[in-house]
Structure 1
């Protein structure tokens, strides 16, 4: 293939995209996305062969890395056998996928309702909670993202909720975030205690018997990788138990290796009633998500119709990709790698960057799930302005690193298969950009 042909492919891709593709969360005339043609491991390329180190995992979902051969092979083999089948039928791949998933869940979780992604996983968990309890309200935090379907987007706390508030029965509260505490806390213990007091008062004010569930991201992701302080999640569980409220833990982003554990909640003293997942369960190779259901809730629908379903629930290609992905993650020690690389490489390297760059206000995270909070002033913790963050993002891409940038933060979220050498390569790029991108600013 000639250089001219390669250039033509990039040009054609851009032209077709501008002409026909409507991009999410974008003003269409301002969208100027990269062309991505191929990938392998922690790297992607455009048609011209320009390489990017993917420290975004796309949308924090490519946990196993790009083009893992075992997963690609499983999808190909399933496609040759049976490409699609109605969800009301029995399919071996679907049963095997469900078996692999519940094997990682706490005891008492035996069934999985499959969806097409994380948003409709949360949507259906909310439906199950309401039907099981006979109550209506769903409590969730302001700093959260739960997806872009009807109830999921209204459960979301960030700005995307506001133009989409068409669903009923949603109440928001503040979760813990010590760096920008809503509770004047100065220690993790204070933050947990005061955040729990706040939630208790919200429950009391809303009426406990009106609340079906509390919906939480175990570790809020898009909102800032907000690792919960010790005792917080256990305290939420206790409040739920006291009032007969279900606890739904959203593991869509944090699950399946991202925190260095199979589920993020494995690191905390908490057992949910419903678990939602997507992204890392098969690294997004085929769209899929689901709800893992505790047995008492599943039994609600033994003799009562569950009024929910999706044409592609348990799609065979997605199921085959789950089986292959989870088997490979186990046999290759990928979850252990995520934990170790976070402890020995990413965490120390980001702490070193924070020591040397005044623009970094805080670093937090675990596994391959980290946030670098950028500030204009460390004393006041004033967030770095959007224009400056935009320059940093552009400079990172220019130097061959794909970042995940949200508000005033860089989220350091490579695939779970990332190596120490790739971490060092990325840190050198972060270091260079933070040293040069803001030159001349006071």
Structure 2
């Protein structure tokens, strides 16, 4: 049984499907036990969604994409390149089954790279377009507190492609994806270059940025204070320092020591949405959704109580509880967890006084568990923490890891965000240790 990249099953096992947590459902187990097991490359998870995209019916648009080895390889490799005067009339461009990249140098000259089928690789494409070549549709992640009216998308229709080696399971990311005619066009104004004795290469308009995890490990290390650097990946897979601004015409400096091979914890920024790559090996060592639910049950079993209303609080699995009296809130300045009450509310001020420590706090927010397991860097139960100011709970090392990671924002800025809701973190260090009564 083979599950394609769009989530549908092969015709022989069309009744099989993926559950919301991307596991094969029980109806498949009996029919698929004689089939070859699926080979998993890894997962791509969009930052800002706590395990799901609500009200989305498209099989191609999800908060998480699972990459499996395809039934038949569809990868490509470079075959030849040549210079032409009129690329639009070239056979490689006209043939919709021939993958090619066209680099326009001027009105009368273009370089075309032709590709041929590579039996050793699978190709997956990501972008904003809903056309057939796109395996995974990614739209702009809407950040909380930002006016989104009349906001144009900055994600390319054919943003990037990933080539996965069917034998070694190594995955590489490249800027730009092939359109419905199997072509990639870099116009005359696009950033491109051709060094002596090297293949021509170029960058997309807003660029595809990647950042590998510190020391090659998706984990929190308190001794490593230096955050990793973002790099830009080219159409040909080269790695360069980021441009002065996102769409600047001048390319950055080539970084030969960094490759486009995805590591467990690599971030891919599409200029409007950021993806986290988790390898199959890394996910095997990560917490499961069941483990996170057990953490919630353990905390709720301790029956935390509001010190003012004396009512029992319940940590929700979803964003809100049906019972407001049981919904826990946190005073972000001190970390004390309480229920909803009016004690300590200033009459003509937004400040609240915590009844436990009498500290003033400008923010009192609802608590909710971060339930997407792929964002967790470990399984250590060291007591609950939450991000400031959204209130999403996670393990200590998880909040400390993400509070150090700067995500691209705007044309040349980088800010730390909560991975569960894409809310920009506030204050230092951007998280709070929770204190339950």
Structure number with larger C-alpha Rg: 2
Larger relative helix fraction: 1
User: For the superposition of Structure 1 and Structure 2, which TM-score range results when normalised by the shorter chain?
Assistant: under 0.3
